[in-house]
Copies of this chain bind each other. A is one copy, B any other.
């Protein structure tokens, strides 16, 4: 493989390692291994540096206008192609736990695509608004949520405000 392809493969590996270590840190905290949790978070932070170094060198970061278009393409692929296929297969297998995970993500990606499209249309004069993210399903809401999550039914206390 060329170095360009290798940068992409390394970016993928570093991205997955970061997410995995964060999940392992939560588990270690839950099991009372707070020092090991801290180590997992430290390594996760290091993998962020590696992932972003590789991404930058593979030309993966453009102008914000380019980046919004790229994000819209990625979200659209997920809710038009990837998740519908995964949902169909999970239904066929009767795998309800996988099905739930795919279905909520699929709904949220549609919302992401819309929010990114709006941001692109209004670029330079974007309205100031806070976002709240449901910690159960990832639902991304403009402004303070008033009721339960419309996607997973979680109560408002499950939302986190994004700074």
Interface set of A (CB-CB < 8 Å, partner B) = 1-4, 6-7, 9-24, 27-28, 31, 33, 35-36, 38-43, 45-57, 60-64, 67-68, 70-71, 74, 78, 82-83, 85-86, 89-90, 93, 95, 97-99, 101-102, 104-105, 108, 112, 115-116, 119, 123-124, 126-140, 160, 162-163
The 8 closest A-B pairs by CB, nearest first: A46-B138, A42-B131, A49-B138, A35-B126, A24-B67, A3-B98, A15-B15, A6-B86
At the interface, is chain A mostly helix, strand, loop or mixed?
Answer: helix
- In the complex, what residues of B have CB within 8 A of residue A31's CB? 63-64
Query: Is B93 a contact partner of A45 (Cβ separation < 8 A)?
Result: no
Query: Is A2 a contact partner of B55 (Cβ separation < 8 A)?
Result: no
Query: Is B24 a contact partner of A115 (Cβ separation < 8 A)?
Result: no
14 more CB-based (< 8 A) A-B contacts, given A10-B102, A23-B55: A6-B98, A6-B102, A9-B82, A10-B82, A13-B78, A14-B19, A19-B48, A19-B51, A19-B52, A27-B63, A28-B67, A45-B133, A53-B137, A53-B138
CB distance from A90 to the nearest CB of B (A): 5
Residue with the highest number of chain B CB atoms closer than 10 Å, among A70, A85, A131: A131
- In the complex, what residues of B have CB within 8 A of residue A119's CB? 35-36, 39
